[in-house]
Amino acid sequence: MSGRPTTTSSSSNTAILPGAKTLQEKLHELLTRLAATIELVKNWPESEGDDASIHVETTTKLIAAIKAVAATVQKVDHTVKNDAALKTNLQECLVPLDLLDLLDHGNGLNPDCFSRALVKEALGQLAGLKRRKLALEMLGAAVQSGLNKRDAEAAKEEEGNKRKRSERDGGSKVKVEEEASDAVTEPPAKKKKGNQS
């Protein structure tokens, strides 16, 4: 177990445990050995007649490959058991139920096919979200444009109403001022006091 500090991944903001790199290397080694063993089985030679020596040689290679796979599985197990934080982190990983169903039924579908289908579905959903986001942005822009137009028309109408009021108020002010000036310039008529015979 190395004493390297825990670092943070830039893509997902999850902590990378120190033993994770070692586990990844061991798992890569295990997959490589499994692939080599599968190739031995796929390319198993056919014997012609009573010549069994070819099977002995191939069987020896197969047994060695299986032992190498078993040793690598033990290394993976040892890596996980010796790192408590890594073991806890692995136990908390969420596994899609569809993948478990595929593994349980053993219908011959490779988990890689499931992963590709899952990625394809996720990309399709992401494209759908992008389309919806674009549609909502267009709707928002249209609504904002309508609101701006309505506000502009309301401001124009208010300005017209103010002008009409000022013209109406201006005309009545002129009349009031004229009446006030007439009252000031013409003194009231005085009645003459006198004796009438």
What three-state secondary structure class fits 35? helix
Q: How many residues does the chain have?
A: 197
Domain ranges in the chain are 15-93, 95-185
Q: Tell me how far apart the alpha carbons of residues 69 and 16 are, in angstroms, rounded to a whole number.
A: 27
Question: Which among 46-55, 134-143, 156-165 has the top mean pLDDT?
Answer: 134-143
The string of pLDDT tens digits covering residues 119-158 is 888 888 889 999 999 999 999 999 999 999 999 999 999 9
Determine the pLDDT at residue 92. Answer: 83
Percentage, residues of the chain above pLDDT 70: 67
The string of pLDDT tens digits covering residues 13-37 is 456 767 788 888 888 898 899 888 8
Residue 7 is given by DSSP the state E
Contact between residue 34 and residue 110 where contact means Cβ atoms under 8 Å apart:
no
Q: Tell me how far apart the alpha carbons of residues 147 and 48 are, in angstroms, rounded to a whole number.
A: 88
86's CB contacts (< 8 A; 6+ apart) are 17, 19, 20, 23, 79, 80
Q: Tell me how far apart the alpha carbons of residues 16 and 115 are, in angstroms, rounded to a whole number.
A: 22
